[in-house]
Amino acid sequence: MKNAILISLREHLKALKLSSMASGIETHLRQAKESGIGYDEFLLDLATTELQVRAENRLTRRIRDAKFPLLKPVETFDLNAVPDLDMRLFRDLCGCNYIKEHRNVIFLGASGTGKTHMATALGIEACKANYRTRFISGYGLVNELLETRETRDLSRIMQRYSRYDLLILDELGYIPFSKEGSELLFQVLAERYERGSVMITTNLGFADWTQVFGDPIITATLLDRLTHRAYTINCPWDSYRLKQSIKEKK
């Protein structure tokens, strides 16, 4: 008899899509009997577990969909190594308000200064806050757009990139784009303008962006929109990698 109740209960919970409650019901029941907690506390425990598991699964999904090349959370970023970083701004950005406000973030600095690391860390914070996040290199995105243009899936891909709450474009500036490539990237960024946040890491000062996008008018329009209401984080310090290898040699 008892068993029949448990079986129906589990089925009902599954039908209600409360799968953690369904799978945990027996253990929770046993524990409740042992500890003698009341019905209310028992149900609260069960519901809390369901919520926790859901939050964990959601975070795992967000992080998987973001496609970070390496998972480098903010705790692994040594703030002591970058005393010139605007700490207040960086901590603020960890709070993700800029995403709510559809503002952009631009990391500007030489290779090895931690731009990708910081962008990844902020991306992970965005995932934790349940924002749809995507990390991709500028070159990777342009290539994807150029490839899909040939398969006529372009508008679907464009739409996908306009739907992320935070789009992180890494390493803009190392490789210049073709005319078509810049125009496609321009379209993606134009779609997102004031609708979703873009985070960029680049080694190029704004004055040199024409080198990447080719056309000076496209570049000027793009920069105008990207930098409007954006936070710029300058990283003028020496390469972290270089400092580490000097340390190791000593």
Binding marks (x or -) toward ligand ADP, 23..62, rule CB under 6 A? ----------------------------------------
Among 104, 113, 197, 202, binds ligand ADP (CB under 6 A): 113
Give how far the C-alpha of residue 87 lies from the chain's centroid of Cα atoms, to the nearest Å: 20
Residue 38 has φ and ψ, to the nearest 5°, of: -80, 175
Per CB under 6 A, which of residues 68..97 are in contact with ligand ADP? 72, 77-78, 81-82
201 binds ligand ADP, rule: CB under 6 A: yes
**Do residues 105 and 231 lie in contact, with contact meaning Cβ atoms separated by under 8 Å?**
yes
Size of the site for ligand ADP (CB under 6 A): 16
Contact with ligand ADP (CB under 6 A) among 21, 68, 99, 114: 114
Nearest residue (beta carbon) to ligand ADP: 114
- Residue of 110, 107, 105, 77 lying closest to 92 (CA atoms): 105
Q: Does 137 bind Mg ion (CB under 5 A)?
A: no
Amino acid at 193: Y
Q: Give the nearest distance from C-beta 203 to Mg ion in angstroms.
A: 8
Distance CA 150, CA 144 (A): 10
Q: Which is nearer to Mg ion, 63 or 169 (CB)?
A: 169
CA distance 182 to 184: 5
Q: Is 116 in the site for Mg ion (CB under 5 A)?
A: yes
Number of residues binding to Mg ion, judged by CB under 5 A: 1
Segment interacting with ligand ADP (CB under 6 A) among 44-52, 108-116, 124-132, 210-218? 108-116
| Nearby residues of 151 by Cβ (< 8 Å), 6 or more positions away | none
Q: Does 245 bind ligand ADP (CB under 6 A)?
A: no
121 counts as binding ligand ADP under rule CB under 6 A: no
Report what 128 binds from ligand ADP, Mg ion, none; CB cut-off 5-8 Å by kind: none
* Residue ranges in the chain assigned as alpha helix (H): 2-15, 19-35, 39-66, 87-94, 97-100, 115-128, 138-151, 154-163, 179-192, 210-213, 216-227, 240-249
Residues shown for the chain: 250
Q: Which residues bind ligand ADP (CB under 6 A)?
A: 72, 77-78, 81-82, 109, 111-117, 201, 240-241
